[in-house]
Amino acid sequence: MRSRRLNPALRLAVVGALVLACQGQTPRFVSVGDVQLPIVVRPQFYTDCRSAAEALSSREAAVAYIGYTFGAVPDRNNPNKHIFVVAVDTKRSYIEMPLLTWPTITPADSEHLTYLNNALEWHERGHLAIAVAIAAEVTAAQHPVTSPADGRAQAEDVIRISNARQTAYDELTMHGIHQSRAPEPLRGSDTIFYCR
């Protein structure tokens, strides 16, 4: 059996799962319907709480890396006709979450970090929910695929739609800082972090 190299995202997810397993922890996933993405934890070490808070305020703390797979399947009513289908690519997609720590972390800090991580995870789950909805909408529309070039053009349209919806979601919620502004199924706790 020949070994195959894993793509960097999948390798990172596997390494994260192995680290958690060695620590006696179970790998975690974000799920929407039957689509599950692994959570990859990115350790971040700071000198104190304030330096962690400053770093979080200057950039996005968690990130959803979501890709799609595209294809064409025969139409049930006409086997000579093919229908464009889309799915979230669960082999190349994952959620990256921070694991913040510093030497003087207090129980109150730990409690607030738990709140922050839950809020961040919910925000990233929203990105996955948008991707799953787009894949379902496009597939349900049953657009015919007339050529490989047509299939590529439809895939580019899906990417364009996805980028626009994901950007609108981030702008509305300010990347989760105002998650309470999101539409009802995605509404959640605001991702605010401060030092106690």
Cα(19)–Cα(26) distance, integer angstroms: 10
Residue 195, domain member (yes or no): no
Residue 176, domain member (yes or no): yes
Per the structure, the count of domains in the chain is 1
Whether residue 125 is predicted with pLDDT greater than 50 in this model: the reply is yes
Whether residue 96 is predicted with pLDDT greater than 90 in this model: the reply is yes
Rounded to whole angstroms, what are the CA distances from 130 to 49, 78, 153, 167, 187? 33, 31, 21, 11, 13
Q: What is the pLDDT of residue 57?
A: 84
Burial label for 90, CB within 10 Å (0-12, 13-18, 19+), is middle
Burial label for 34, CB within 10 Å (0-12, 13-18, 19+), is exposed
Residue 31, domain member (yes or no): yes
Average pLDDT in the 61-83 region? 93
Q: What are phi and psi of 43, to 5 degrees?
A: -60, 140
Domain containing residue 92: 8-186
